[in-house]
Structure 1
Amino acid sequence: MKKANVRRCAMTRTLEWKVGLYLVEEDGTTRARAVLDTGTVSLTGQGVARCNPEDVDVPAIGDELAASRAMRDLAEQLMRVADRDLEGVGAGQASRRTLTGYGWPDATA
């Protein structure tokens, strides 16, 4: 019987993925775009924040809100890619009820 060539999780490697974060503010609306290129996949997250006309205009708050929403969108897309890749190797998805994250239980906390 031939032994399957399966790579285990114990290997060491170092990667650097850079995320570009682009912000544009116009007429009280801040739009953010977060772009990740891993070398094998490119993902773009989007986020928007609008200043309530009754609130004090503090541009940094709009930047923070729009950027965080774009990064959350990007993170959700990346998790879907990971889910598909895990299913592709027969690992299946983690239970959404227990929020256990594929061997990194604190990753979803």
Structure 2
Amino acid sequence: MAHTQDWKVRVHLFEEEGTTKARAVLDLGGTEISGQGVARRNPHDRDVPEIGDELAAGRAMNDLAQKLLSVARTDIEGVAHPGP
């Protein structure tokens, strides 16, 4: 039996005074999981916003991935060791 789903991740970026913040949101169809990421520009470095976006978004997606894996571990434990 084939099983196909389409999950979408939205990444929101916010930049202010050399700091870029990102929030990655995965919609699981009724449940959302989100991850956060931050990138700070060294004051001595050139201002290249794309780099901050990439770092913050990558960190947010990494945080999201860790949270999704944690949800999966909890689900596995519930199936492997059902309650009374």
TM-score, length of structure 1 as denominator length? 0.71
SS, match of residue 52 in structure 1: coil
Gaps of 5+ in 2: none
Counterpart-to-counterpart distance in 2, 1:27 and 1:56: 13
Q: Which residue of 2 aligns with 1:74?
A: 64
After superposition, the Cα gap between the structure-2 partners of 1:42 and 1:66, relative to the gap in structure 1 and judged at 3 Å, is same
Shift of 1:41: 2.3
- Which of 10, 13, 19 is equivalent to 1:20? 10
SS, match of residue 21 in structure 2: strand
The structure with more strand, counted as a fraction of residues: 2
Counterpart-to-counterpart distance in 1, 2:30 and 2:12: 22
TM-score, length of structure 2 as denominator length? 0.91
Aligned residues: 81
Gaps of 5+ in 1: 1-10, 92-109
Percent sequence identity over aligned pairs: 62
- Root-mean-square deviation (Å): 1.2
Q: Please tell me the residue identity of whatever aligns with 1:22.
A: H
Residues 83-104 of structure 1, C-alpha deviations (whole Å, 9 max, x = no match)? 000111117xxxxxxxxxxxxx
SS, match of residue 80 in structure 2: coil
- Which of 52, 59, 69 is equivalent to 1:62? 52
Q: Which residue of 2 aligns with 1:46?
A: 36
Shift of 1:56: 1.1
Residues 31-65 of structure 1, C-alpha deviations (whole Å, 9 max, x = no match)? 00001110142111100000000111110000000
The structure with more helix, counted as a fraction of residues: 2
Structure of larger gyration radius: 1
- Structure having greater relative contact order (Cα 8 Å, sep ≥ 6): 2
Deviating 4+ runs (over 6 angstroms): none
